[in-house]
Amino acid sequence: MTEIQADGGPIPLIPDDLTIPQFMLDVHHPARPTLRKPQPWLIEELTGREICSDELRARTFGLANALKVRWNIGEDDVVCIFGPNHIDYPVAIWAVHRLGGIITGANPAYTVEELEYQLSTTKARVLIAHPGSLPVALEAAKKAGVPPERVVVFDPVDGAQNTTVEQLVGEGLALPQRFVERRLAPGEGRKKLAFLSFSSGTTGRPKAVMIPHYAVLANVIQMAHHTNAKDESKPLEQQRYKPGSKILGLLPFYHIYGLVVVMHFSLFIGTTLVVVQKFNFEQMLDSIQRYRITHLCLVPPMVVLLCKHPAVKNYDLSSVMHLMSGAAPLSSELMTQLMQIMPECWIGQAYGMTETCTAVTFPPVDRKIGTLGSGGVLLPGCTARVVRPDGSLAPPGEPGELVVTGPSMALGYMNNPQATAETFQDGWVRTGDEVYFNERKEIFVVDRIKELIKVRGFQVPPAELEGLLLDHPDVGDVCVVGIPDEYSGELPLAFVVPSADALARIARAPQEAEGVRKAIMKHVADHKVHYKHLVGVEFIEVIPKNPSGKLLRRFLRDKAKEMREKGTLAIPIRAKL
C-alpha cells in the first residue's frame, strides 16, 4: 500500500476569498441545506433563550462596530475569549473576524500564569471573559499588559465596572458603521489567520496552532459533503440531519472539536445549537429530554457515564438519533455497551486534531454502526499514510504513525519553526498517533506513540486495556500507565475508579477491596496475552482528564512514581511474565 485515498469523490468548491462569518452569515454554499421553516440558530440551555439568524447577524455587527470604535480592533489584532461556552461566543468570534482580527480561545480552568502565557504569546489586545472567570482574567491581563478597561465580560458581574458584551452590542448598533469589512483577495483565505488555537501541550508548553479561514471552511464543507447533509431524497427517518435537528453544545468552544464540528458545522447545516455553559451529566440527560436533542457530539468520558451511570434509566433519550465520539479512542467494548443503551441510534467515531483543523475521519454513512473500535473513514479530500519506523509505508492491518494531508491542515505553530518543521512537512501533518487501516479504509487508533507501554520489547497500548477494563462491572472509569520495571522495562498499572456497586460493597466490607482488585486483574488475564497482564490495580476517586476528554496519563505516572517511592504502591518486585 502506498497511500489511503478517501472515498466520496471530489468535494464541492471551497471558497478561498471568504472569511468565516461571510461564509456562515452572508452567502449560500451549494453544500448547505436550505431551511424551509425558520428555526433558532442558538438556544441557551438553562434559560431557553433563542437567537435566530437576523438577531445573530445584528449582534455580530453591533459588537464588531463597538470594538472598532472603542479600541480600533482591526487587521490581525488578537482577541482572547476566556471562559466556558456562552450563547454570545459565536457572536464574539465572528465580530472579530468581521474586523480582520484573530481569535484565541482560552481554557476557563487556566490559572493566572497559564492565561498570562496565552495572552502574552498571542499579543492579545482585548480579553472577553465569562463572569466566573473575571478574577483570573483581570490578574492575567494586568501581568500581560492588557489594560483593565479592555477586559470585557459576557454578562454583568456584581461590583465590577467591566463593560459587558450586551453594552457593546447596543453601543455598536446605535452608531453608524465605523468599520470597512475585510474582503479577501482570491487565495488569501488560505493564509489569512482566523484562530490561534492552543494544542494540548503533552510535551513542553502549549503551542499556538495557526488556523486560516480556509481551513475551517474546508472542514465544514468536507463534513457536509460526506454526511450528505443536503440530501432530502431519503425518507425523513433515514436522514442523518433532517430539518429541526438539535445538537447539544456540551464540548468547549475554545477547543477545536467544539469550535469547528459542534459550532460551525452544525450551524452550517441548519442544526439548532443548544449552548451548554458547564457540563453536568444529569443536567445533560435532562436537557436531552427537555429539548428533544437529536445529535450528540461527545468525548469518551461522557460515553462512559452514559454506559455506567445509574441515572440514565430515569430519562427519555429516544430523541437522539446520531451520537459521535471523538478526541480519544472509544473501545469496541464501550461501543457495544452504548449500542445496547441506544439501539436505534447511529453511533460512530471521528478522528482529528487541532493541527488538522479538526476532523480527518468521520463515521461511515453507509452503515448505522461502523466496525467496532473504528475511528471512522477518511473525509473526502483527505489522504493518509501509515508510516513504519523505518519510513516505509505499512499495508492494511499493520500499525504505524498516521501522516495525513487535506484542505483543512493548519499552517504551523506560531513563532515556533522547530516544532513546525517536526509536525508540518510539505503539506502533510505528522500526528504522533499509531494507527492502522482495515481493507474497508476504516481507521483504528492504537494509541499515542509516546504513550505505548513497552513490556519486554512488546508494545502494549493503554487504550486497549482501558477498553477491556471498562467492560468490567466493578470499573467506573480507568487509566492505564506504564511503570518502570528492572526485569520487563515497563509494566501496565491500572488506576481504577470503582463503580457505584463496587464502592457500596467495599463500604460494607473493606476487605472486599482486595477481592475487587483481584477480579479486575483476572479479567485482563483471562482476555489478554501474558505481557499485557496488569501488575496492579490502584483505586482513585477521579481520573484526571483535559477538557477534551483525553486522559492525563503523565499525572498518574507521576503519582505512581511517588507512591512507589513512599512504598504505598502494592506491586510485586518482579512480575513473572
The whole-angstrom separation of Cα 25 and Cα 181 is: 14
Per-residue confidence in pLDDT tens, the chain, 577 aa: 579 999 988 999 999 999 999 999 999 999 999 888 889 999 999 999 999 999 999 999 999 999 999 999 999 999 999 999 999 999 999 999 999 999 999 989 888 988 999 999 999 999 999 999 999 999 999 999 999 999 999 999 998 999 999 999 999 999 999 999 989 999 999 999 999 999 854 345 689 999 999 999 999 999 999 998 888 777 777 777 887 899 999 999 999 999 999 999 999 999 999 999 999 999 999 999 999 999 999 988 889 899 989 999 999 999 999 999 987 778 888 899 999 999 989 999 999 999 999 999 999 998 889 889 899 999 999 999 999 999 999 999 999 999 999 999 999 999 999 989 999 999 999 998 899 999 999 999 887 777 878 787 676 888 889 989 999 999 999 999 999 876 677 899 999 999 999 999 999 999 999 999 999 999 999 988 888 899 999 999 999 987 667 788 888 988 998 898 888 886 754 433 3
Fold of 452-566: GMP Synthetase; Chain A, domain 3 (3.30.300)
Percentages of the chain per state (helix, strand, coil), in multiples of 5: 35, 25, 40
- pLDDT score recorded for residue 450: 76
Hey, is 386 helix, strand or coil? Answer: strand
- pLDDT score recorded for residue 548: 66
What does the radius of gyration of the chain's CA atoms come to, in whole angstroms?
A: 24
Q: Where are the domains of the chain?
A: 52-183, 452-566
The whole-angstrom separation of Cα 455 and Cα 532 is: 8
Q: What is the dihedral of CA 332, 338, 344, 345, to 10 degrees?
A: -80
- pLDDT score recorded for residue 49: 97
CB-based contact 421:374 (threshold 8 Å) = no
The H or E element spanning position 338 is helix 332-341
CB-based contact 102:78 (threshold 8 Å) = yes
Q: Please state which CATH class domain 52-183 belongs to.
A: alpha beta
- pLDDT score recorded for residue 573: 44
3-class SS letters over 451-474: HCEEECCEEECHHHHHHHHCCCCC
CA distances from 112 to 84, 108, 148, 196, 398 (A): 16, 10, 15, 19, 45
> Fold identical between 52-183 and 452-566?
no
CB-based contact 493:477 (threshold 8 Å) = no
The whole-angstrom separation of Cα 549 and Cα 100 is: 32
Work out the angle at residue 106's Cα, subtended by the Cα atoms of residues 543 and 253, and round it to the nearest 5 degrees: 80
CB-based contact 48:85 (threshold 8 Å) = no
- pLDDT score recorded for residue 304: 86
Hey, is 277 helix, strand or coil? Answer: coil
CB-based contact 217:15 (threshold 8 Å) = yes
Q: Could you identify the residue written with the cell 443536503?
A: 230
Work out the angle at residue 429's Cα, subtended by the Cα atoms of residues 426 and 430, and round it to the nearest 5 degrees: 115
Q: Which residues, at least 6 apart from 318, have a Cβ–Cβ distance to it below 8 Å? A: 344
Please give the model's pTM, rounded to 2 decimal places. 0.84
The whole-angstrom separation of Cα 558 and Cα 51 is: 46
CB-based contact 470:303 (threshold 8 Å) = no
- pLDDT score recorded for residue 568: 85
The whole-angstrom separation of Cα 477 and Cα 549 is: 12
- pLDDT score recorded for residue 546: 77
- pLDDT score recorded for residue 576: 36
- pLDDT score recorded for residue 233: 76
Which residue type is seen at 372?
Answer: L
Q: Which residues, at least 6 apart from 255, have a Cβ–Cβ distance to it below 8 Å? A: 105, 197, 547, 548
